[in-house]
Homo-oligomer: A and B are copies of this chain.
């Protein structure tokens, strides 16, 4: 599991006085940066990298300004050329959002998706989510 703690910023609030929903996708992207570095150690230099195919966010509760948010990120499953990432955002001992992201191994130079190499696959497996 990867863990990222963010302090909500004032400009991330909106007129409903909560954190704007669109901010969560940015936090989830940020929590996936260690995964990008597994593929591209010198990210964002070109070569092997990942492209994002799909995201899903389930807004469980309002996220408030004024308290830290911890994002727990793990790998749900690994396919041939892609894998699925799971996110949970916690604030004050409550889940405020859950998310998924499907990422595809991509060779920028060849401009095509490629098999997840063995070295990266082994690294991802260390972060597999516990079966539920």
A56 CB-CB contact with B under 8 Å: yes
- Near B by CB (< 8 A), chain A positions 26-63 give 26, 29-30, 33, 36, 43-44, 51-59
Q: Which residues on the B side are within 8 Å of A53 (C-beta)?
A: 58-59
Query: Is the CB–CB distance between B21 and A65 below 8 Å?
Result: no
Residue of B15, B17, B55 near A10 (CB, 8 A) is: B15
Per the CB 8 Å criterion, the residue count for chain A at the interface is 31
Query: Is the CB–CB distance between B29 and A9 below 8 Å?
Result: yes
Q: Which residues on the B side are within 8 Å of A43 (C-beta)?
A: 66
B interface footprint on A1-38 (CB within 8 Å = 1, 0 otherwise)? 00000000111011111001111011001100100100
Residue of B36, B52, B59 near A59 (CB, 8 A) is: B52
Determine how many copies of this chain the complex contains. Answer: 4
Residue of B16, B30, B54, B66 near A9 (CB, 8 A) is: B30
Query: Is the CB–CB distance between B44 and A65 below 8 Å?
Result: yes
Tell me the smallest distance from the CB of A103 to a CB of chain B, in Å. Answer: 10
- Near B by CB (< 8 A), chain A positions 89-107 give none
Tell me the smallest distance from the CB of A27 to a CB of chain B, in Å. Answer: 9
Q: Which residues on the B side are within 8 Å of A54 (C-beta)?
A: 56-59
Q: CB within 8 Å of B: which residues of A?
A: 9-11, 13-17, 20-23, 25-26, 29-30, 33, 36, 43-44, 51-59, 65-66
